[in-house]
Amino acid sequence: AIKMYQTVHQFDEAIVVAESRSHPKSQEMRDEYLRHLLETRQEEKAAELKEKENDYERAIDLYLKGGLPAKAANVIKSHNMTNNSHLVERVATALASSGLHDRAGEFYEMMDQLQRALDSYLKGNAYRQAVELARRHFGSQVVSLQEQWGDYLVSSKQVDMAINHYIEANCSTKAIEAALNSRQWLKAAQLVEYLDADKRKAYFKRIAQHFEESEQLEEAEKFYKLAGSPQLAVKMYTENNQWEKAHQLAITFMTEREVAMLYISQAERMIGLGKLKEAERLFLAVKEPDLAINMYKKQRKYDSMVRLVAQYRKELLKETHLFLAQHLESEGNLREAEHHYCEAGEWLSAVNMYRSNNMWDEAIRVAKIYGGVNASKRVAYAWALALGGEAGAKLLTKLGLIDPAIDYAMESGAFDHAFELARSSLQSKLPDIHLKHALYLEDEEKYPEAEDEFINAQKPREAIDMYVHQQDWVNAMRVAETYDPSAVADVYVYEARACADQKRYARAEELFLAASKPELALTMYKEAQMWSEALELTTQHLPHKLGEVNMAYQAAQASRGTGGTKTDFLANGRMWENSKQWSNAVDAYLNARKDVLPPDELEEIWECAVRVARTECRVRYPEVVMEVTRRLRDVRRHETAAEILREAQQIEAAVDCAMDGECWDKARELAQGQGMLQERVQKAYESYLMSRNNTAGLMEMGHTDAALDVYAKNRDWEKLWAQADKSEVGQDVLAKYAAIRVKQLLSDGVNAGLDDAVVTLQTYGAPEHEEYYEMYANLTKAILGRSQEQENEVDQSETLGMLRNIFMRLTTNIRLSYGQCDPVLEQLLMACHYMNVFRTCTAEFRKSKNPDIGTLANKTAITLLRYNSVIPVDKCFYLAGMSCKEQNEVNLAFVLLNRYVDWTEAIDEGDSSGIDNSDFASASNVPFTEVLPGQHYLSDEDLREEAREWVLSVCMDDNVNQTLPDEGGAQGTIYAGLYMCDLQTCIVTGFPIAPRDELRMNKVVANKKDWNLLVSKTKKCPWTEEKESPQW
């Protein structure tokens, strides 16, 4: 048996038999068989043999050697050999090398080499195992693995299976693409819903296109709208002839212009496809009938074109028919052209068309249908003219049209042909032809020829009328005398009336008399209101009418108000009253005018008008009262006018009227018992007295203030002060008029007037009310702003001291009354005070040459710099600079005069914007101002030049410090006044006072040394101006 199996090469069966029988060579046989298998490269068989022998490691080696790592792996799994890591590693590596990455991944996973396992799964596209492994050990990679799984499925054409994996990976876009590619349209739509609005549109559009292709139009519409492309849905409906849906959708989602553009483009596409009806519907849907009309015109579909024009462009229907008719005529399609001409109501054009083509029978037919028999006769006449001569006459005779032909010839102006036809066939018509010819020639302004024809027609009267119409009186008279003598008088009358129209009345009278018509001449003169000529004519030619004309003359003058006596006007008015025509009676009385009658008579007549209106014509009563009172005012009858207004219950107007006429007693009488009116009259009378400068009258009334106002207005100040003294008016009143006087003097702009203003305030008092603060500021600025030359013209020191004292009293009184004083007044007071101290010290220094006094002048001059809003800035810097220069304070003098030079240049240029304030930026007590002085302090240019040259000379001296020290370095020096500090300010110099040097006197604080120095010289307190002694 063993031999048998060996013979058929079933060695394994032979070995089984040998081993079952315990054959001594069974092991040898097995070894031999194994060797044979290995020599013949049957490693798989050899491995199976070893596996059966339970030699698993050898079996695994053989499987691996035979390139069967999977079977090797099965051996390890079947026999639980995972603890042999080396062996497992070899198998896993072999599996990976053989492309069995999923199996390799399992082995790596058994070896707890998870990353390698994951990598192997991915290499083998074993995404299920990879995802499961990631869920257990690599949670952060699950999402990306799901995306890779989906990508793999798409690449493997398993698109529908990839959708869920993309969803798991949050890859909406890929999921949607997968759904679209796998034609799962509803699934794709659901996924698109979760995208951003901007990203949805493209996908919804693709879905819509699918439903459109599958003819699911409603679904397509839905997704087109979601895609933000409703116009594509509209286009879809129009391509599928669903017009109502298309239009309903278009007007819902698109602007009118967008709808129009879409429909027009669709219509043009339809035209290209030859679908004109569909194109028309599109054009009409967007209210573009003109485009549809033009389409049919281009396509030569004229019936459709006319149909649309008639429906949408009725005003162009005639024009359209004419265009088509002319076009068809040019193409030779005369029958169609005739149709359109006639539809346009231009059948004559159709007739002319046939005539031009020598189709007379057709022309007559058209004329007869549309124009009637007379029109057809005219065409026949034209045919006869075209034939000419005898042939034409025969044609008309044949047609029985001689009489109408003659009429037509006359209407057409062809009179030669009319005469020819009449002479040959109808001579009874000749007079009528002559008359028509005459009228024709008259219209052509061929008057001699027209005259001949009128005579030929036995109508001389018409020839006369022709010349009368042309005002050709000579020819008119010639024809009348020659052919119709009865018309001569009429010619005279016509010419006379023409002369009257030209206001040639004398010639007209001659002609009327020549025509034996004096009554017409009289009518002419009466209508022209030429009463003297009318009376003369009546006396000579119509004496029986003289009384009548004279009465008419008088009545005319009265009725017009241009003449007549009082009796005429009264009679005319009473005549209307007797006939109870009350309104005419009023008008008749009102016709009386002031240039005709004297005021007394006018007053009587106009009162009649008021009487009639008041008693009989109430509707006109207000109007008549207004008019009569106006007229009475014009003739200075104000009292009468006021009385009429009182009767009309217009008391206030009556009072006004009386006051207008200066009838003050009447005004008081009318206002009696009316408190407000009485007050008005009283005030008006007072104003009247003031306007007349009647101070005596005002004083009589007890209106002292009003009388004083008159004096003030007239600048009669001596009388004002005398009257005020006499009337013992109060101090407040005196102060008020003092302020008025000051304002007048300020407005005069006279230098000396400023001193008078100060004296006035000093004498009569300064009012405390804040409305005068601006006046005080203007006065102070004017006095402190004087130039050096102006100061020399007056006693500046006395005026300045007086003004300082005025402000001293004023501020003191205000503090007593109100508890505090306005800062504006405080500033004005201190500016005047320090300027007063400066002038006092300067005068004393120049007299005594005492350097200590000179130092006081220096300090006060520097203090004045802080008041450059009141004192002109160039003056401040000049005074301070020159004072320092005199005291040999060269450094400070240079800085101050250098700034003075800058300001003089700015004044000359009229622009302060170029002033550089950097030198004084730290000088906190010297405010920077851009206010440009109105004039130079030094009007003498030589003096300004002298200061400029000194500055230039010092500028070159290196020993001179050309800048200010800082605030710390300024303390205790002449520079200290330039900087603000917390110390008390000296009332003498304005400089800060060290506590040890303080002296309190008369409610002010001063530097003891400076106070004593000044008081020892002046013997009075610099603040109170009262007698004082030094306080050692």
Tokens of 295: 């389409």
Which of the 8 DSSP states describes residue 590? H
The answer to whether 151 touches 169, Cβ cutoff 8 Å, is no
Using CA of residue 343, residue 348, residue 350, residue 351, what is the dihedral sign? positive
Using CA of residue 103, residue 107, residue 113, residue 114, what is the dihedral sign? positive
Left (φ > 0), alpha (ψ -120 to 50) or beta: where does 725 sit? alpha
Query: Could you tell me if 752 and 901 lie in one domain?
Result: yes
User: Is residue 317 in some structural domain?
Assistant: no
Q: How far apart are alpha carbons 556 and 546 in whole angstroms? A: 15
Asked whether residue 243 carries a pLDDT value surpassing 80, the answer given is: no
Question: What per-residue confidence (pLDDT) applies to 373?
Answer: 73
Query: Could you tell me if 839 and 963 lie in one domain?
Result: yes
The answer to whether 1003 touches 984, Cβ cutoff 8 Å, is no
Left (φ > 0), alpha (ψ -120 to 50) or beta: where does 307 sit? alpha
CA distance readout (Å), 141 to 103, 753, 856, 975: 21, 104, 96, 84
Q: Which of the four pLDDT bands, split at 50, 70 and 90, describes residue 50?
A: low
DSSP string, 675-714: HHHHHHHHHHHHHHHHHTT-HHHHHHTT-HHHHHHHHHHT
Q: Which of the four pLDDT bands, split at 50, 70 and 90, describes residue 814?
A: very high
Domain carrying residue 891? 733-969
Q: Which of the four pLDDT bands, split at 50, 70 and 90, describes residue 702?
A: very low
Q: Which of the four pLDDT bands, split at 50, 70 and 90, describes residue 167?
A: low
Which candidate, 40, 89, 33, places its Cα nearest to that of 60?
A: 89
Contacts of 835 (CB under 8 A, 6+ apart): 784, 800, 864, 871
Burial class, 239, CB count within 10 angstroms (exposed 0-12 / middle 13-18 / buried 19+): middle
The answer to whether 657 touches 669, Cβ cutoff 8 Å, is no
Q: How far apart are alpha carbons 514 and 357 in whole angstroms? A: 66
CB atoms within 10 A of CB 70: 15
User: Is residue 820 in some structural domain?
Assistant: yes
Asked whether residue 793 carries a pLDDT value surpassing 70, the answer given is: yes
Q: How far apart are alpha carbons 450 and 415 in whole angstroms? A: 13
Rg of the chain's alpha carbons, rounded to an integer? 66
The domain tally of the chain equals 7
Which candidate, 701, 631, 689, places its Cα nearest to that of 659?
A: 689
Q: How far apart are alpha carbons 969 and 891 in whole angstroms? A: 14
**Residue whose pair of structure tokens reads 């194994």 in the numeric block:** 34
- 234: helix, strand or coil: helix
Query: Could you tell me if 908 and 827 lie in one domain?
Result: yes
Query: Could you tell me if 724 and 738 lie in one domain?
Result: no
CB atoms within 10 A of CB 133: 23
The answer to whether 907 touches 933, Cβ cutoff 8 Å, is yes
Please tell me the total number of residues recorded for the chain in this structure.
Answer: 1032
Question: Which of the listed residues 969, 992, 1007 is the one where a domain comes to its end?
Answer: 969
Which of the residue ranges 84-88, 203-207, 599-603, 863-867 would you say has the lowest mean pLDDT?
A: 84-88
Element (H, E) at 739: helix 731-748
Query: Could you tell me if 884 and 954 lie in one domain?
Result: yes
Query: Could you tell me if 800 and 934 lie in one domain?
Result: yes
Q: How far apart are alpha carbons 901 and 944 in whole angstroms? A: 8
Mean pLDDT across the stretch 474-487? 88
DSSP string, 74-102: HHHHHTT-TT-HHHHHHHHHHHHHTT-HH
User: Is residue 913 in some structural domain?
Assistant: yes
Query: Could you tell me if 517 and 666 lie in one domain?
Result: no
- The CATH number of residue 113's host domain is 1.25.40
Mean pLDDT across the stretch 991-1003? 92
Q: How far apart are alpha carbons 731 and 727 in whole angstroms? A: 12
Element (H, E) at 600: helix 599-615
Q: Which of the four pLDDT bands, split at 50, 70 and 90, describes residue 357?
A: confident
CB atoms within 10 A of CB 905: 15
Q: Which of the four pLDDT bands, split at 50, 70 and 90, describes residue 194?
A: low
* Torsions phi, psi for 1001 (to 5 deg): -140, 135
Tokens of 595: 């240039």
Q: How far apart are alpha carbons 236 and 209 in whole angstroms? A: 10
Mean pLDDT across the stretch 904-917? 88
Q: How far apart are alpha carbons 56 and 79 in whole angstroms? A: 8
Contacts of 947 (CB under 8 A, 6+ apart): 878, 881, 882, 897, 900, 901, 938
- 938: helix, strand or coil: coil
Asked whether residue 54 carries a pLDDT value surpassing 70, the answer given is: no
Q: How far apart are alpha carbons 356 and 86 in whole angstroms? A: 120
Contacts of 700 (CB under 8 A, 6+ apart): none
Question: What per-residue confidence (pLDDT) applies to 943?
Answer: 93
Tokens of 673: 């018992």
Mean pLDDT across the stretch 759-786? 93
Asked whether residue 40 carries a pLDDT value surpassing 80, the answer given is: no
Which of the residue ranges 8-17, 435-444, 522-531, 930-939 would you say has the lowest mean pLDDT?
A: 8-17
Which of the 8 DSSP states describes residue 112? T
Query: Could you tell me if 928 and 788 lie in one domain?
Result: yes
Q: What is the pLDDT of residues 520-534, one digit of tens each?
A: 888 888 888 787 788
DSSP string, 984-1020: EEPTTT--EE-GGGEEEETTEEEEHHHHHHHHHHHSB
Query: Could you tell me if 20 and 52 lie in one domain?
Result: no
User: Is residue 82 in some structural domain?
Assistant: yes
Please measure the distance between the N-terminal and C-terminal CA atoms of the chain and give it in whole angstroms: 164
Average pLDDT over all residues of the chain = 79
Question: What per-residue confidence (pLDDT) applies to 901?
Answer: 94
Question: What per-residue confidence (pLDDT) applies to 879?
Answer: 97
Q: Which residue has the higher pLDDT, 826 or 564?
A: 826
Query: Could you tell me if 740 and 724 lie in one domain?
Result: no
Q: How far apart are alpha carbons 904 and 877 in whole angstroms? A: 11
- Select, from the ranges 52-66, 163-177, 256-270, the one with the highest average predicted confidence (pLDDT): 256-270
Beta pairing, strands 984-985 & 992-993 = antiparallel
Contacts of 158 (CB under 8 A, 6+ apart): none
Query: Could you tell me if 531 and 616 lie in one domain?
Result: no
Q: How far apart are alpha carbons 985 and 756 in whole angstroms? A: 33
Determine what percent of the chain is predicted with pLDDT higher than 70: 72
Question: What per-residue confidence (pLDDT) applies to 165?
Answer: 63
Question: Which of the listed residues 124, 155, 176 is the one where a domain comes to its end?
Answer: 124
Tokens of 805: 């004292």
Tokens of 448: 């001699």
User: Is residue 221 in some structural domain?
Assistant: no
Question: What per-residue confidence (pLDDT) applies to 696?
Answer: 47
Q: Which of the four pLDDT bands, split at 50, 70 and 90, describes residue 569?
A: confident
CB atoms within 10 A of CB 386: 13
Q: How far apart are alpha carbons 306 and 294 in whole angstroms? A: 11
DSSP string, 801-826: HHHHHHHHHHHHHHHHHHSS--HHHH
Q: How far apart are alpha carbons 273 and 88 in whole angstroms? A: 76
Mean pLDDT across the stretch 568-584? 82
User: Is residue 174 in some structural domain?
Assistant: no
Bridge partners of 818, per DSSP, are: none
**Residue whose pair of structure tokens reads 């010819």 in the numeric block:** 437
Q: How far apart are alpha carbons 545 and 537 in whole angstroms? A: 10
Asked whether residue 699 carries a pLDDT value surpassing 50, the answer given is: no
Q: Which residue has the higher pLDDT, 49 or 255?
A: 255
Query: Could you tell me if 767 and 848 lie in one domain?
Result: yes
Contacts of 463 (CB under 8 A, 6+ apart): 438, 450, 451, 454, 455, 479, 483
Question: What per-residue confidence (pLDDT) applies to 55?
Answer: 60
Which of the residue ranges 704-713, 717-726, 940-949 would you say has the lowest mean pLDDT?
A: 704-713
User: Is residue 101 in some structural domain?
Assistant: yes
Which candidate, 817, 806, 803, 699, places its Cα nearest to that of 769?
A: 817
Q: What is the pLDDT of residues 296-329, one digit of tens each?
A: 888 888 788 888 878 888 777 778 888 888 888 8
Tokens of 264: 């027009």
Tokens of 205: 């559009």
User: Is residue 781 in some structural domain?
Assistant: yes
